Every structure is written in structure tokens, then in C-alpha cells.
A and B are shown apart, each in its own frame.
Chain A
Amino acid sequence: MTDKIIDIKHLSKSFSGKQVLHDINLYIRRGEFVTLLGPSGCGKTTLLRMIAGFLQPDEGSILMDGKELAGIPPHERPLNTVFQRYALFPHLDVYDNVAFGLKLKKTPKEEIDKRVRKVLKLVAMSDYEDRDVETLSGGQQQRIAIARAIVNQPKVLLLDEPLAALDLKMRKDMQTELKEMHKKLGITFVYVTHDQEEALTLSDTIVVINEGKIQQIGTPTDIYNEPVNSFVADFIGESNILNGTMIRDRKVSFIGHDFDCVDEGFGEDVPVDVVVRPEDIYFTKEAAKTQFTATVKSCTFKGVHYEMFVDTDSGNELMIQDYDPYAVGETVNLYIDPDDIQVMKKERTCNTLEGTWNGESVDFDNPEFSLPVDKMNDVPKGTRVRVQIPFGSVDLLDDIDAGLTEGEVHFILYKGDHYHLTIKTDDGGFLWVDTQDIWDKGDLVGIGIKNKGIKIELIEDEKAQ
């Protein structure tokens, strides 16, 4: 017996040519509450369905207690699923729904009776045995769905966005109950959700997934306090994500000021992403503590705290949460504790594309388009080149036919004084853009390239035929 109940290795899956999961490596400890968290379409449900056995992986393996699960049909796997929208059997009453699995296993009648009553009591639905499931409310149906799964005493319980269909109040109550149930039952829970708050509340471990890749695995506090990249920082909680430069160890510069921090090992004068949570920016009256000043732009009461947007002296916008309100227009003194500054390596500092020089332009492989560039006299046609295009040199155009290629705004990150956009081109490639303009997610844009700061280098060892 290992501590790992489920061990996923190099798992990949594609649907009709589109890769939805890339090389997933993940293990789940016995008795743990693990949440797969990510935006819709990130592949988290696909991963869960592969563990349940409804989908077969293209590559890689899923081990349970050291045994390979591939090839074992879902009805023989020692795990049960709580489905999105419950999936109760409408032609059976509550009791028969819960007893469904036990009856199939030919469990003696008295034992079925005992176990069904016990789980119904656990989910606080004892008085509903004879009720038609369709007459129950969403929350009640959810309880029955959970009861129907756990009555079989699975080693692992898979939950696919079980609370998504409930209203907010009900969802909060059920969260607490799920957590208690997990403690009481001691079985491993694998929970899928797109709700970051739910994930933070419930989980022992959170697995953040985006674009079919695991972004970060960690405890809720790790993920919240130390996001590894700007996606995680933006997805989990509110955050100010800013461009910065690591001056040296424990010294970082952003929004035009130098700050002490606790991060080391990035090197000197390296561009980095900096995350500061809005509750970690403090107001002060003391001149000695003040690190920078700002003007309050807006102040909104949010129940427990006030949410304020301020313009810093260097022209960056920051979100701040504080228990005390400050008047709009007021100039305030601010500071940030070194502990609260999270420095992240930049995933990329510019767009790097590879392509072939055809005498007049470069034909890129992915995304597929041609970029006309100045004559390179001594370079023969067909030479492979690598082109670096700064984020700021990519132009987004309203007219989708006006550019070199076209795409869709896929992901938006506000960086204090500009937006950092991920553009997904129509052939499935990605480009990253810095812009002042406001775009919405899903906007279709034409993509132009400004001939500014573009660097072209030859790929020496790889010549096209």
C-alpha cells in the first residue's frame, strides 16, 4: 500500500485533433480532498472522466493503488461519481436510487436497508425515502446523488461540479456539509470546479489547470500566496499583476519604485511578473513607512471591506482592499510588506516564432502567416529563422481582414497600466500582445505587426531542404 491512491502519469488526450490535456502528471494521496480547478474548457472534466473510465487516455496511464486502470470498464472501477446536474434516475424513488448500486452487487436485502438508511441519515434526507426524485429541490437532489455514490463505499469519490446548479446560499451550506462528510467518511475526494472560492474553501490540495496543462499544485494557501504564474494569480482571488524587474536578490522594481522582497535566485536585472494581493497594500500616515503615493480614483463598499482603485504616482492602477474607506481624490501614502510581494518568472518576454525566409517575407509555422521584412541580402531563400516580436509590436485591428492574420481575444490580464492579451489565432496558434486599448474576451481581431523591435536570427543547425 502506497500513500498515493491515484497516480497519473504522462496523460494526454485529444478530441478530433484538438489536444485537451497535455502530459498530465499528478498523484492523489489517500484520504485527501483534491480539487481540479480551472476555467471552463480547460480539460478538468475530461481528466475526471478518464479517472471514472468514461474516456480512454490517448497516452499515459492512471494507476490506482499501483494497478493500471486503463482497460477496466467504469462499472468495475472502485470509485463512484457525483455528476453535474445530479443524474438521478427519474423512474425510481429516493430509496431505489440510493440502493441502485447495492442491488446490482446482489447485497442482501437487510444490509441494503441498513446502509441506505445510514447514508440517507448522513445527508439529512431520512424522511424522503419514498419521494419521487423529480419532486425534490436542487439541493435535495444533490444530497441524494451524493448518498447514491457513497453508499457503495468507494475508495475514491469523484465530484463533477456538484454545486454548480445550486443558488449561492445553498452552495455555501453544501460546501460546509461536503467538507464535514469528507472528514467523517475518510474517503478520497476528487472535486472538479471552476469556482476558485469553492476550491479554496474545500480542498487539501488544489490542482490549477489551464489549456490542458497543470499550472500549479499546492495547498490553498500556497496557491493563493505564491502563485507560480500570472494565470494562477489572476484566476485565484483578486490580484494586482504588474511588470517588474528583479534588480538583484531581495530587491525588485515595479510601478516606478524599488521594493524589498523575499525572493531570490532570479538573477540581476531580469524582467519578472509581480503579484500583490489587494489586501496586502497598506495605507499609512507615517512618512518613514511610505513607499509610494497614489490618488484614490474610486471607493466601493463590499460588505466586509472597501474596494478602492488608486492611480499611483507612476501612473499605474492598483486595486486595494481595506477596512477603512478613503475619499475619492484624496492623495494617500502606501506601503507593501516584503512578504506580500510575490515575484514570478515571466513565461515569456516576447513572441518567439519560427518560420522560413522566402526572399521577401518570413512564413511562420504556428500561427501560420507571413511577415514581410526588410531584405536580408546574404540569406538564401528557404533558410529557417527565429523571429522575436515584442508584445508592444503586435497591432490589434477592428477589421479582421486588415491584418496579416486573424484571431480571437482569449485571455486578458490587466497589468496596472496596460492590458496583456493572449490572442488565439484562427489556426490555433497563440500570440501575446501589450495594449492600452480595451478589448473583451472573445472579440475577433485582425493581427498586424509593427516593424519595431523585431529581431530575426538564423537557426543554424536546422536548414530546410
Chain B
Amino acid sequence: MKKFFAKAYIWVLLIVMYAPLVFIAIFSFTQSRVLGNWDGFSTKLYENLLTGQMQGNASLIAAVENTLIIALVAAFVSMMLGTVAAIGIHNLKGRKKKAITFLNNVPMINPDIITGVSLFLLFVFLGFAQGYVSVILAHITFCTPYVVLSVMPKLQRMNPNIYEAALDLGATPSQAFWKVLVPELKSGMVSGFILAFTMSLDDFAVTFFTRGTIGLDTLSTYIYTDARKGGLTPELRPLMTLIFLVVLILLIVINLRQARQSKLNVKKY
């Protein structure tokens, strides 16, 4: 009996967590404009999405493009900045290192809305034109700490002498960075990139406050405006299903990588 309740508990939990996603996925295969009405099976919404022939607002495609470009650029720049920062932090000692690590962690637990409003105020204060660039800068700001966090453990596990060994063998500091440090930290950098990419992808608050008034929309701000205008564009349903699948695959890839890494490490020692 006890076992039954324990099992039931986990299933109820999983159903509550995943029901909305399953719901969206199911209703992405019907043409009804109103969510919740089943008009019979159809892949029309997927066709519309992929060909760009929307029943509703065509700027959905533009929003998806913006989202992807912003996420890719922000994730890439964060990956580079975060890696260099992690190396710097790693080489600090004692209290300084603790302080900087702490400062790196604060933005991650800071509510997005506060980050968003602060950045908004900063851009206004600096007289910085808000638009594409400000959104990308804002995303880099909140993504970089995640990269630092995922590169740090790689540095800690690395033999501290290998950078010096490269210098010793005649590599200039930049050669040593590219030929030895980057290959060593690659897996951490990739994990950081993926993390930053997903963080950027689903950000709403920060984007909302830093996109300015030029009508720049990412997926999240688009949905927000769309919902307020009365009813969601039906093509959002297949789009969300696809995004969920992509994220799921990314997550599985990360987990597999980590599992393989730890297996390798076990073998080593």
C-alpha cells in the first residue's frame, strides 16, 4: 500500500508537470483557432509555420529569427567572455577569489525583472539607443555567469602546470591559450554555451525592458503582445512543441556528455 502511494505520488507529480506540454503538443495537430477545440487531425499549422503562410500575424517568423540570432550571438559572446573570466578567477587567490565567485553568482539568483529594469535604467542613463544591440548586450550580461560556472570545474580539475608546460615548450601566451587551454576547457565551454543559449531563448523580463520602442520582438515578447491582443496565434502551438523538442534533445545531449565524462574520469583514477 505504502509503495502504491509512493508510486502514485510520483506519477501525479509528473502528470501535473508535463500535462500542459502534452496538451499543447496534442492541440498543435488540429486547425482550430481556439485552444481546446478539436477540429480533427491536421498538420496544417506545421505547414503554415514552415512555409511562413500564417493565418494570423506574419511577424511571428521574424520574432523566431530574432530570438535565435540574439540567443546565438549572446551565447557565443558569453562563452568567450565567461571562459576568459573563469580563467582569471581561477588564478586569483584566497579572499579575492571567493569575493569574485560570489559576485559572479549574484546575477544568477537576482530576479530577472530587477536585472531587466536595472539594465533599462542604465541604457537610458547612458543615452544608449535601445534595440537589437541593447538586447544582445543585456543577454550577454545575464548569460556570462552561467558560462563561468560551467567552465570553473574544468579548470579546477585541470593540471595547473599544463599552461606553463606549453609556454615552456615555446608557445606564446596566446598559442598556449588556443592550443592547450581551449581544448582542455572545450567541454565546459560547450555546456556553458548551451546553457546560455537556453537562458537567452526563454528570457522575457530582460528583453521586455531593453528592447526599446522600435518594435523589436522576440518569441516571448511576441507571445505576450499576441495574447493581450486577444487569443494566441494558432501557429504558436506547433512552434512551442518544436522548441520543447529541441530543448529536450539539447538536455539529453548535455546529460549524455556529462555521463560519458564522469565515466572517463572514473576510468582515469
Residue in B161, B168, B179 whose Cβ sees the most chain A Cβ within 10 Å: B168
Task: State whether A83 and B161 are in contact (beta carbons under 8 Å apart), knowing that A89-B180, A91-B183, A134-B268 are contacts in the complex.
Answer: yes
Q: Which residues of B contact A134 (CB under 8 A)?
A: 268
CB distance from A98 to the nearest CB of B (A): 10
A87 touches B171 (CB 8 A): no
B168 touches A74 (CB 8 A): yes
Task: State whether A54 and B164 are in contact (beta carbons under 8 Å apart), knowing that A85-B159, A104-B175, A134-B268 are contacts in the complex.
Answer: yes
A87 touches B169 (CB 8 A): no
Is the CB of B170 closer than 8 A to any CB of chain A?
Answer: yes
Task: State whether A83 and B164 are in contact (beta carbons under 8 Å apart), knowing that A75-B170, A75-B172 are contacts in the complex.
Answer: yes
CB within 8 A of A152: which of B162, B167, B170? B170
Is the CB of B100 closer than 8 A to any CB of chain A?
Answer: no
Is the CB of A52 closer than 8 A to any CB of chain B?
Answer: yes
A75 touches B167 (CB 8 A): yes
A83 touches B165 (CB 8 A): yes
Q: Which residues of B contact A81 (CB under 8 A)?
A: 164-165, 168
Cβ-closest chain A residue relative to B164: A54
Complex CA gap A89/B180 in Å reads 7
Q: Which residues of B contact A104 (CB under 8 A)?
A: 169-171, 175
B268 touches A87 (CB 8 A): no
Q: Which residues of B contact A148 (CB under 8 A)?
A: 165, 169
Number of interface residues, chain B, beta carbon within 8 A: 21
Task: State whether A89 and B162 are in contact (beta carbons under 8 Å apart), knowing that A104-B175, A134-B268 are contacts in the complex.
Answer: yes
Is the CB of A105 closer than 8 A to any CB of chain B?
Answer: yes
Is the CB of A73 closer than 8 A to any CB of chain B?
Answer: yes
Is the CB of A100 closer than 8 A to any CB of chain B?
Answer: yes
Q: Which residues of B contact A89 (CB under 8 A)?
A: 162, 165-166, 180, 183-184
Task: State whether A80 and B175 are in contact (beta carbons under 8 Å apart), knowing that A87-B162, A91-B183 are contacts in the complex.
Answer: no
Complex CA gap A90/B167 in Å reads 16
CB within 8 A of B159: which of A87, A100, A105, A152? A87
Complex CA gap A88/B184 in Å reads 11
A105 touches B170 (CB 8 A): yes
Q: Which residues of A contact B162 (CB under 8 A)?
A: 87-90
Q: Which residues of B contact A75 (CB under 8 A)?
A: 167-173, 176
Chain A 60-84: CB-based contact to B (< 8 A → 1; otherwise 0): 0000000000000111100011011
Cβ-closest chain A residue relative to B176: A75
Complex CA gap A74/B172 in Å reads 9
Q: Which residues of A contact B176 (CB under 8 A)?
A: 75
CB distance from A17 to the nearest CB of B (A): 14
B165 touches A87 (CB 8 A): yes
Q: Which residues of A contact B164 (CB under 8 A)?
A: 52, 54, 74, 81, 83, 87
A85 touches B166 (CB 8 A): no
B167 touches A74 (CB 8 A): yes
Is the CB of A278 closer than 8 A to any CB of chain B?
Answer: no
Is the CB of A403 closer than 8 A to any CB of chain B?
Answer: no
Q: Which residues of A contact B180 (CB under 8 A)?
A: 89
Q: Which residues of B contact A372 (CB under 8 A)?
A: none
Q: Which residues of B contact A86 (CB under 8 A)?
A: 159
| Interface contacts beyond A100-B169, A134-B268: sample of 19 additional A-B pairs, CB < 8 Å, sorted by A | A52-B164, A54-B164, A54-B167, A75-B167, A75-B169, A75-B176, A80-B169, A83-B161, A83-B164, A83-B165, A87-B164, A88-B159, A90-B184, A101-B169, A104-B170, A104-B175, A148-B169, A149-B168, A149-B169
What are 11 residue pairs bridging A and B, where the CB atoms are less than 8 Å apart in the complex? Answer: A52-B168, A54-B167, A73-B167, A75-B167, A75-B169, A76-B170, A81-B165, A100-B166, A100-B179, A134-B268, A148-B165
